[in-house]
Amino acid sequence: MDTTKNDGAGNQEWSDVTVKEHKKLKNLKNENLRDHMTDAELVFTALSELSTRQIAETMESKGLEENRIPAKKGGRIAKNARLELEEKTGKKIVSKQNYLPKDRNRLT
């Protein structure tokens, strides 16, 4: 599987928002979304990516088009886990909360 390109299909599948919508929710402009995700958001992103990779390897998917199916399936696994956790806790996983403070100094 080509893991160098990602159109965000897995993120949208598990979170029910696009990467652009997720960044807007967190009030991010040029910042990296992953740097501002909560621990829970990172865990579900990792579950989606791991599931996607393993499904793609099993299906022997090549290229972006063939990998859309594993991305959707991998994202669905993380989505089902997210929905179950939200049901049990009553708390939403995708949030506007930022892990990093807005005024954090960047390393150069």
Average confidence (pLDDT) per 10 residues, the chain, 108 residues: 50 90 92 93 96 95 91 95 97 88 55
Q: What is the crossing angle of helices 39-59 and 63-89, to 10°? A: 140
**Global pTM value:** 0.81
Q: 102 CB contacts (<8 Å, ≥6 apart)?
A: 27
Q: Whole-angstrom Cα distance, residue 83 to residue 51?
A: 17
pLDDT computed for residue 99 by the predictor: 76
